[in-house]
Amino acid sequence: MKSLILTLTTVAFVAGSAAAGDVTGKISLKGTPAPEKEIPMDPACGKLHDGKKVTTRFYVTDGAGGLGDCVVYLEGAKGGAATKEVVIDQKGCEYLPYISSAQVNQPIRVLNSDPVLHNVHPTPTVDGNKEQNKAQLPKGAPLDFTFAKAEKFLRFKCDVHPWMFSYVSIFDHGFHAVSAKDGSYKITGVPDGKYKLVVEHRKGGKVEKEIEVKGGAKADFTIEAK
């Protein structure tokens, strides 16, 4: 009897696993965006880059047509487990990464690897997400933030250094990802079924596609430079 239960459980687990897969694909950029702007850093921050020019990151590309920093998600999906925490570092007076995604109430941990102080100031616009403003001394202790409501591109800023921004899209499910510099993305563990897959870029806008996941799916997108 015991072995029968064990067998059934194993079968159910395997069957369950087979009913989910990864949604992958690539996002390409069409057209040529306006050139990025050079950031006028102050001397303390400038010397952290050894005199190299630092620019804005509105369109992050791999030079071969891939477009990074797109938020990809399944609209209206339910469930999905969050990873432990999302980490954003302040390095060279820049937020790294510039774009990330998280689940509601998932900790967003902000580090300061810089030898200068910053203030970490998330400025949500959705009711229920609280604006906060915390000081973080050089190499100071990490700061954790959580947000209770879904919100696209929730802005984190540093008011000490007015060029420092990071955007976190908060979802009420776990099926989201951010495209890498080459435009590739991967949403893992998506149960089989029909979904609307959405890609959003802060400046390039939004594109979407109906997809069917059967043990996985692949969908490529193109975003036009504005």
Partner 1 sequence: MAAYQSSMSQPADNPWLHRFALLTALATLGLIGIGGLVTSHGAGMAVPDWPNSYGYNMFTFPVSMWIGGILYEHSHRLAGSVVGFLTLVLALWLNGRPAAKWLRWGGLVVLALGLMAATSPRVKLDNVLFLCGTGVAGFGISFFWPHHAPLSPRLARFGLLALVLVVVQGLLGGLRVTAMKDQIGIFHGTLAQCFFVLICALALCTSRWWARAWATPASGIVPLSVRQFLLVTTLLILGQLALGAAMRHQHAGLAVPDFPMAHGRIWPATDAAALERYNAVRLDTRDFKAITAGQIHLHMAHRCGAVLVLCAVLACFLRLKAALTAGHPLLRLASGWLALICAQAGLGIWTVLSNKAADIATLHVIVGAAVLVTGALLTLLAGTVFGERPVAPSAAMGPAARAT
Binding site for partner 1 (CB under 8 A): 34, 36-40, 42, 44, 56, 58, 116-117, 119, 121, 123, 131, 133-135, 137, 155, 157, 159-163, 165, 203-205, 226
Least separation, in Å, of the C-beta of 217 and partner 1? 28
Least separation, in Å, of the C-beta of 72 and partner 1? 19
Least separation, in Å, of the C-beta of 158 and partner 1? 8
Q: Which residue has the tokens 């921050």?
A: 45
Taking the least distance from each CB to partner 1, the nearer of 134 and 181 is 134
Sorted by sequence, the CB contacts under 8 Å of residue 89 that are 6+ apart come out as 95, 96, 110, 111, 112, 113
Taking the least distance from each CB to partner 1, the nearer of 56 and 61 is 56
| Cα(44)–Cα(28) distance, integer angstroms | 36
Q: How far is CA 109 from CA 73, 90, 95, 141, 213, in A?
A: 22, 11, 12, 10, 32
Least separation, in Å, of the C-beta of 123 and partner 1? 8
Taking the least distance from each CB to partner 1, the nearer of 162 and 215 is 162
Task: Kindly tell me the burial class for residue 67, based on how many C-beta atoms sit within 10 Å of its own C-beta (0-12, 13-18, 19 or more).
Answer: buried
Taking the least distance from each CB to partner 1, the nearer of 127 and 131 is 131
| Listed residue (57, 67, 54) closest to 225, CA to CA | 67
